[in-house]
Structures are given as C-alpha cells and as structure tokens.
Structure 1
Amino acid sequence: MTTRRIVLAGGLALPALAARAQDRPVQIYVGFAPGGNIDLAARMAAPFLEKHLGGGTQIIVVNKPGAGGMLMLNEVAAAAPDGRHVALVSFPALVTALYDNTPRYRVDSFTYAGLLTDEPYTVFVGTDTPFRSLRDLVEAARAQPETVTIAGAGIGGAPHLAMMAIERAAGVRFTWVPTQGAGQAMQLVQGGHVAGSISTVSLTVRAHIQGTLRVVAIMERERWDKAPDLPTAIEQGVDVAAGSARGFALPAATPAPIVARWEEAVAKTARDPEFRALADRDFLIVRHMDRATMTRFVEDNAREYGALWRSSPWRR
C-alpha cells in the first residue's frame, strides 16, 4: 500500500499532526501468527476501515504473537492513545488471560470501538486420519486417555476452552498442544503431527470443501445453513456449543472523538455490501455490536470466565 495522510476525528487532525501522519500509518495489532482466522479477519477488514475512517487513512496489520494474545494486548494497552494503535481483540482470550496469567492490562485498560464478527468453532482432523466423526475422536480418547492430541492457538483461549468443554461433556481427556495461531495448528493437522484441532468456520469450512482437511463437527446448536452436511457436536452426543467473537479496542485514554470515529468506521464496515460479500465468500460471520454493547459484552465475558476459572481452572 502507498502511504497516505490520516485525518483524525473531531478537529484533532491539526496540520502538523496530519503531516506527520504520512509516516505514521494506523496499526491494527493481531495477537497471533499470520495465516490464522483472526489474522485473516483483520486483513479482510483493513481496507474497508481505511475507506470508512476517511482522510487517506493507511492501515497496516501487525502480528504480535505470544502468550495467547496477551503480549499484544499488553502492548496496545500501554500505547499512545492517538488512534493509531488498535487491537483486533478476540473473546474469550482477552478476559481469560486475566485469570490464568499476569497481564499488564485489565478490562478497563481499553475502550471498545465495536464488535465485527462472531463465529462457531469446528473440530477438524487430517484427511489421512482414521477419524470420521467427533464420536471417533471421543472414543479414541476414552480408550486411551490423553493420547489423542488436539492443537490450537494458545492456552486459555477460546479453542482451548472449547476442547475442555468437549472433555467435560464426553467424560474424556485429550492432550492440548498450544500453538502461536490457528494457521500453525492447521499445519500440524495437515502434516499428521496431531490428531486434530479446533478453529472457526471461516478458517476450516473452505478447506473441508476443498478436501485438505476434514471437519468432523461444528460447535453450534443447529447445523449451519452454509455447510448443511456438517453435523453438530450435539448431534454426536457432545452437548457443547462454542465460538469466538472479535472486535476492535483502543487504549483507554484515547480521546472520545477518535473512538467515535472508529466506532463509526467499524459499523460502516459491518454494513458495507462489498465487505459482507467477501465475508460470505470466505465463511466469515459478521455480527456487529456498537461501542456500548461491546463494552457490556466484555464485562459479561469477564464475569462468566472468572466464575468458570474458580470452578474449573483451564491450566492443569
């Protein structure tokens, strides 16, 4: 992309700031390695956010993997509140790190500009494995506890907690193999290094259709109309539904006019017909929340996973 001028909202783009902005693009941070579902969502949204922020905004996506996204969140929470440091945050990863780690951020370290996507998870395996269904995975784990390996992004994030929910519902034990992102987990599955993995429909359903991996369950209450051949986990006797939501967060001290500009850009992106067409093509599920609704969503997540941590810690 060529470098263009960024204009901030509410009259904050003074001439000197606008000039300096030619060398200071907006950075959207992703807490996982390139090639995963969160990274792909950020890169899909970036040109639309550029358009709807206006003023010649340039956005670059910056990957800062590590500690299940916590390292990136620490960095953005401490960044200058100038509208140029924005995190694509995922849930429940943002809140689970508050309980199983020692992050330098809290829920109120950020101001939330809006949720953009929310997707169910799938359980998938390699095409060369003997596993044809979630039942097959469960029965293998029941026969030989902790020998069936499941890979996924980080520890304590949504994929890991989804696996633990399957374990509780089915009364089995897998072995979790943490990775720096969903893309790396997919590579381990396709290379035959692990039995399976858990990730969102946007990363896995197209690969399933293309025959490069096998989705054995979708973790939704009902079958998904875009891939009606995929059975749910519930159909296979595992009463679990799980997924991952993603939205945008800025440092808490970011001035209100800048946050309002971002909130508007996220909303316009969610409504943009071209973005929605691309999302539909790539099995990305758009679910928009405005700033206030997303803030309540984050607070509810924090309470929910705090209670879960006290009853069933996910680090063991």
Structure 2
Amino acid sequence: MTMKRRVLVGGALSLPALSASAQDRPVQIYVGFAPGGNIDLAARMAAPFLEKHLGGTQIIVVNKPGAGGMLMLNEVSAAAPDGRHVALVSFPALVTALYDNTPRYRVDSFAYAGLLTDEPYTVFVGNETPYRSLRDLVEAARAAPETVTIAGAGVGGAPHLAMMAIERAAGVKFTWVPTQGAGQAVQLVQGGHVAGSISTVSLTVRAHQQGTLRIVAIMERERWDKAPDLPTGIEQGIDVAAGSARGFALPVATPAPIIARWEEAIRRTAQDPEFRAITDRDFLVVRYMDRPTMTSFVREQAETYRRIWATSPWKQ
C-alpha cells in the first residue's frame, strides 16, 4: 500500500515582507512538546526549507511543553501578529483541549497557513517485553485490566485517543502514562519503565529497523509499502486506524499578506525535491493543504471531537 499524499498546488504569490518592526528578529516556530518527539523532529526538519522559501528569514524552533500543547497554543494565540510567532499545531490535540480543558484560545484564535504532514501511528513495545503482536498486548490487558502501561504525549491528544480506540475495539483497559512528548515516551519504553507507547511512523520505524524497539502494529487500514513487515491492527482483529496531522498557525490578527507569505512558503516546502527526499528517507509523510483547506479541516476536526467528547469523554 502506498501512503496517500495530497499536494495541492496553488498559483505563485508575491512574498511581502514581515512587519517592519520585526524585520531583524528571527521567526520562532513553537512546538508544544519537549525536544526529541515526532512533532519537534518535524519542525526541525521543515525549518531550513521554510527559511529558504521565506527568503532567508532566520527560523528557530522553540519548545514550550505542557498540558498536551495547550500552554504553547495559549501563548501563540496571544502573541504579536507580526509573522514572527508561529505554532506547529497538531491534530487532534489543538481541538481536544477545547473540550477537556479551559484553554485561552478557540478554533478561530488562529489563522491556519497550511498543513504539511499527516502520519499514521504505530503501537510499539520494549524489546525486553514478551509482546510480539498487538494481540499479545491486548490479551495481557484482558487478563489483568489496567496493569499494562502505555505512555504517550499528554492527555486527550492523538496518542491517548488512539489507545482509547484500541481499548474500545478490543474491550480491554490499559493504564495511560502521560509524558511531555513522544521522545520521553520512547525513553520510558526503551528503559523498561512502561510496556509500550503509541507514536508516528517517522519517530518509530527507523528505531524498529535498528532493533531499539519493537513495533507490534501500524494503525493504518493497509500495510505501508515503505515498511511492509509491519502488520496493521486490523489484521490482528483490532479495527482501528489513527494518526497525527500537523500544520502551521499564526495569531488570527496577523495581516493577510503575511499569512499569504507563509502559505506560499509551506506550499513550496511541501514541493521542494530536497525536502521530499529527506522526508522519504526519514519516514515523514507529507500531506499539504492550503489555507482554506486546512481551515475547513480544523473546523471538521473540532466538530468530530465535540461529538466524541459528548458520548465518550477521554478525561474525567
């Protein structure tokens, strides 16, 4: 199976300068999780190409972990609208916080400049565990409810909701161990502190191939041709598919010409042959959406998770 990738090609745009007051300051791309996780790695991979397509504007990646990314989103939503404060937002984390917490932002607090990646999740365990399949993990949880520990970034984010989907599909109960980012969750798995974790292919497939962790399922409908040895959860009787999409958002008051400049830079990054070669090498799945398409996507996500929260809340 070839992972579906969508690249929407728009017409060329002029690239106006950032606000005059911000000309000599670097752009800060904020990540709401600790360094070393999948979202942090995606930001650092994209940054040099965004720099190039923004005309050489310096970019630095700033980690602001806490509350599943909510603290960072609060900060960026209230930042100066000068094009220098940009959030790498992930879904569904941006919208789930609207229902399980009290963030200072809302969906319409941001201008969404473009989606860049959308990756399926994997379920993985430590090499010293007895689990060789997702079915093994599920049967252990069935035999001893709430004793099998699964770590992942935050509460109510995409990894947590993916675990809950497995629980519902299999009729079992794990224990969720929230972390400040996916990198920390990997360390807990590799150190034998938890049984397993859930994260994206870009963070886990290489480690699986190198033998530092064991993927027991890819949360996709079909096997992935870039890692065909990875069985799906569906093959193992667990009908689940889940992943994480990421894109860029700026404070909603940011002037339209600056948003257009960012939209164009994201589009050019998604199409850049050098960027595509790196993402192919490192299993990062590119899926570009322009500003209107991403904005519609965010609103659809918010409505989807509003309905889920009403019937199956993920946080008490």
- Whole-angstrom CA distance in 1 between matches of 2:252 and 2:236: 44
What amino acid is the match of 2:105?
A: Y
Give 2:23's match in structure 1, choosing from 21, 25, 31.
Answer: 21
Shift of 1:292: 0.2
Structure 2 residue 168 is the aligned partner of structure 1 residue 168: yes
User: How many residue pairs end up in the alignment?
Assistant: 303
Q: Write the distance in 2 (CA, Å) between the matches of 1:63 and 1:97.
A: 18
1:11 deviation in Å? 5.6
CA 1:212 to 1:97, structure 2 compared with 1: closer, same or farther past 3 Å? same
Where does residue 4 of structure 1 map in the other structure? none
Counterpart of 1:46 in structure 2 is: 47
Tell me: CA distance 1:10–1:177, structure 2 relative to 1, closer, same or farther (3 Å). same
Correspondence list, 1:176-191, <5 A: 176-191=176-191
Percent identity reads 84
AA aligned opposite 1:111: A
SS in 2 for 1:169: helix
The higher relative CO (CA closer than 8 Å, separation ≥ 6) is in 2
Give the alignment's Cα RMSD to 1 decimal.
1.1
Partners in 2 of 1:200 and 1:11 — Cα distance?
35
**Residue 283 of structure 1 corresponds to which residue in structure 2?**
283
Tell me if structure 1 keeps the 8 A contact 2:19–2:83. Answer: no
SS at match of 1:287: strand
Matched, 1:10 2:23: no
How far apart, CA to CA, are the structure 2 residues paired with 1:13 and 1:140? 57
Question: 1:87 is paired with a residue of what secondary structure?
Answer: strand
Deviation at 1:268, TM superposition (A): 0.2
- Amino acid in the other structure paired with 1:275: F
Q: For 2:139 and 2:186, locate their aligned partners in 1 and report how far apart those are by CA, in whole Å.
A: 22
Shift in Å at residue 13 of structure 1? 5.1
TM-score, structure 2 length as denominator? 0.94
**What does residue 75 of structure 1 align with?**
75
Written as runs of structure 1 = structure 2, the 5 A alignment for 1:252-263 is 252-263=252-263
| 2:54 partner amino acid | L
Aligned to 1:92: 92
Q: Aligned partners of 2:103, 2:198: CA distance in 1, in Å? A: 25
Tell me the distance in 2 between the aligned counterparts of 1:91 and 1:151. Answer: 18
Runs of 5+ in structure 2 lacking a partner?
1-13
Deviation string, structure 1 residues 54-92 (Cα, Å, up to 9, x no partner): 1x3000000000000000000000000000000000000
Query: How far apart, CA to CA, are the structure 1 residues paired with 2:16 and 2:42?
Result: 28
Which structure 2 residues correspond to residues 1-316 of structure 1 after superposition, within 5 A? 9-10=15-16, 14=20, 17=21, 21-22=23-24, 24-54=25-55, 56-316=56-316
Q: Counterparts of 2:233 and 2:111 in 1: how far apart (Å)? A: 35
Alignment deviations for residues 36-71 of structure 1 (CA, whole Å, 9 cap, x no partner): 0000000000000000011x3000000000000000
Task: State the 1:10 CA deviation.
Answer: 3.2
